[in-house]
Amino acid sequence: MKPLISPSILNSDLGDLRGQLRLIQRADVAHVDVMDNHFVPNLTWGLPVVESCVKADVLPIDAHLMIEDPDRWAPAYAEVGCASVTFHAEAAAAPIRTAREIRRHGARVGLGLKPATDITPYVDLLHEFDMILVMTVEPGFGGQSFLGSMLPKIRRTREAINAAGIEVSVQVDGGISRTTIELAAEAGADNFVAGSAIFRAEDAPAEIDVLRALAARHRH
């Protein structure tokens, strides 16, 4: 799979959402973090802001829902036109029903796993998803350090997908930068969320190209 770069706008200049999306236009998708201050100890925005990102019509929107009760809230993010909607395994009471509902609204669906959540219980359900998000930090904040201890989980996830003979993307999120992206790519990731590495770079578009080229050294 061709590596995809998904800049996270969490720590961008939020007063100029459209300008920030244009700044990262050469990326593949824009990653938008929804936090409810319950599932994670931080609060961002909800459906109206995500819908504005979709309507800006600059990049496909990848919604990462760090919220409780995604069974209730997640399908609406597909309905407003997000290209993909990821909810967390730890928060969903009915992950299969929710995944199917998201797909029914025309979006790709992702299953998020916090660092201490194993992929094993989901191995037989991989075909219900288009993407598995292996968090490489504890979710909640940008700018944290990549957890190298997640590499075996990335590898197991990729192996399980390949063994099932299906096309499912493996996304990594947290601490992805020039120094860590190749580790994740080598282990099996093909979709890379990067927040501070891109928005704190002097030249954000150039940084996207650098990250993409490093990731492309390892294909799956």
Phi–psi pair at 90, nearest 5 degrees = -70, -20
Do 31 and 193 touch, CB atoms closer than 8 A? yes
The token duo for 25 is 């236009």
Q: Which among 88-96, 113-121, 169-177, 181-189 is the span making contact with ligand DX5, rule CB under 6 A?
A: 169-177
Q: Which among 40-48, 110-118, 167-175, 197-205 is the span making contact with Zn ion, rule CB under 5 A?
A: 167-175
CA–CA dist 193, 24 (Å, integer): 12
Point out the residues that are catalytic. Answer: 33, 173
Residue from the set 105, 144, 182, 218 that interacts with ligand DX5 by CB under 6 A: 144
Q: Is 56 exposed, middle or buried (0-12, 13-18, 19+ CB in 10 A)?
A: middle
CA–CA dist 69, 171 (Å, integer): 22
The token duo for 167 is 């096309």
Least Å from the CB of residue 146 to ligand DX5: 8
Residue from the set 194, 204, 214, 215 that interacts with ligand DX5 by CB under 6 A: 194
Number of residues that bind Zn ion (CB under 5 A): 3
Tell whether residue 140 is a contact of ligand DX5 (CB under 6 A): yes
Least Å from the CB of residue 173 to Zn ion: 4
DSSP code at position 145? P
Residues 77-136 that bind ligand DX5 (CB under 6 A): none
For residue 197, the tally of other CB atoms under 10 A from its CB is 25
Residue from the set 4, 5, 10, 215 that interacts with ligand DX5 by CB under 6 A: 10
Number of residues that bind ligand DX5 (CB under 6 A): 21
Pick 64 or 108: Cβ nearer Zn ion = 64
